[in-house]
């Protein structure tokens, strides 16, 4: 059995959907904090059980009978994030899983300037020391992040954000399909994968150009002062620690931490990766 955690989330739900196209539903299980939210999967024949990284005792039942477990990142930083991932890894081992997969990041590094990358790197170390076969999916930066960085660009014609750098923005749908392909072809990758990214890296100057083309007007990239930008977020109700965390993403991008782009994702998919233009078009057409 293949068990997917976080199967009602943005990435996990897509992975399950893609996996159902490749293996029988009876061979798929999901571990979710709220099983009632996965009723649709249960109706399709998927085994649904409660599993919560913060409640390790729940994971034994959720992972029972698993040959492979895909641990979808908990999305938390610091020791809280690592402890939850460690609980899932340990539970997968105790359940007898032959392989653990983890939704890591192409920017995972011990010296990253963006806090989530530290958790990814630490989780990969935990996997390597766990005595099981593992695959760390080195996913590109989610393209769905870009609309969150636009601010009022569509209204004002100015994309205002701190200095940045090129990022290999990659669509959730593409990464989910790649994960399903890897799960269905057990043993395809051992250890960290090559970067699973879009084939090009774009900075916010490029994003402003794409947005302008879609809107039929000029969108100018305006570089904001770091501290003024953080102060603006805080002034709009963003918690101070969250605002500084977000600034770390820009610091890391400036250093080139997210600039890696390669062909492996498209090779896996057997098609072109979703361009960032398409992601922005969807955002623009919804008028968000």
Low-confidence ranges of the chain (pLDDT < 50): none
Q: Is 65 left (phi over 0), alpha (psi -120 to 50) or beta?
A: left
Q: Is 42 left (phi over 0), alpha (psi -120 to 50) or beta?
A: alpha
pLDDT of residue 287: 62
Query: How many beta carbons lie within 10 A of that of residue 36, not counting itself?
Result: 10
For residues 174 and 176, give the distance between their C-alpha atoms in angstroms, rounded to a whole number: 5
pLDDT of residue 6: 95
Tokens (6 digits) for 112: 């990253």
Question: Is-contact 88 69, C-beta < 8 A?
Answer: yes
For residues 178 and 180, give the distance between their C-alpha atoms in angstroms, rounded to a whole number: 5
Give the tens place of pLDDT for each residue, 172-190: 999 999 999 999 987 789 9
pLDDT of residue 195: 97
Question: Is-contact 26 85, C-beta < 8 A?
Answer: no
CA torsion, ordered 201, 204, 208, 210, to nearest 10 deg: 10
Domain 2-139+172-192 class, CATH top level = alpha beta
Q: What are the residue boundaries of the structural domains of the chain, listed by start?
A: 2-139+172-192
């Amino acid at each position: 059995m293949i068990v997917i955690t976080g199967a009602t989330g943005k990435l996990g739900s897509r992975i399950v959907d893609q996996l159902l196209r490749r293996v029988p539903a009876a061979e798929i299980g999901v571990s979710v904090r709220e099983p009632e939210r996965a009723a649709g999967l249960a109706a399709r024949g998927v085994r649904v059980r409660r599993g919560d990284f913060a409640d390790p005792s729940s994971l034994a039942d959720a992972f029972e009978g698993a040959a492979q477990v895909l641990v979808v990142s908990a999305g938390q930083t610091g020791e809280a994030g690592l402890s939850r991932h460690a609980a899932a890894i340990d539970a997968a081992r105790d359940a007898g899983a032959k392989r653990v997969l983890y939704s890591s990041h192409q920017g995972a590094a011990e010296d990253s300037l963006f806090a989530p990358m530290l958790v990814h790197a630490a989780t990969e170390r935990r996997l390597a020391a766990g005595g099981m076969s593992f695959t760390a999916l080195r996913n590109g930066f989610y393209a769905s992040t870009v609309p969150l960085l636009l601010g009022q660009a569509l209204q004002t014609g100015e994309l205002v954000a701190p200095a940045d750098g090129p990022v290999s923005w990659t669509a959730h749908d593409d990464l989910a399909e790649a994960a399903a392909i890897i799960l269905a072809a057990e043993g395809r990758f051992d250890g960290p994968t090559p970067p699973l990214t879009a084939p090009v890296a774009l900075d916010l100057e490029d994003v402003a150009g794409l947005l302008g083309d879609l809107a039929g007007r000029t969108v100018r990239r305006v570089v904001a002062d770091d501290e003024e930008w953080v102060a603006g977020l805080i002034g709009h109700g963003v918690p101070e620690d969250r605002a500084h965390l977000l600034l770390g993403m820009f610091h890391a991008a400036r250093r080139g931490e997210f600039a890696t782009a390669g062909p492996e994702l498209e090779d896996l998919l057997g098609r072109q990766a979703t361009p960032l233009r398409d992601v922005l078009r969807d955002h623009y057409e919804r008028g968000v």
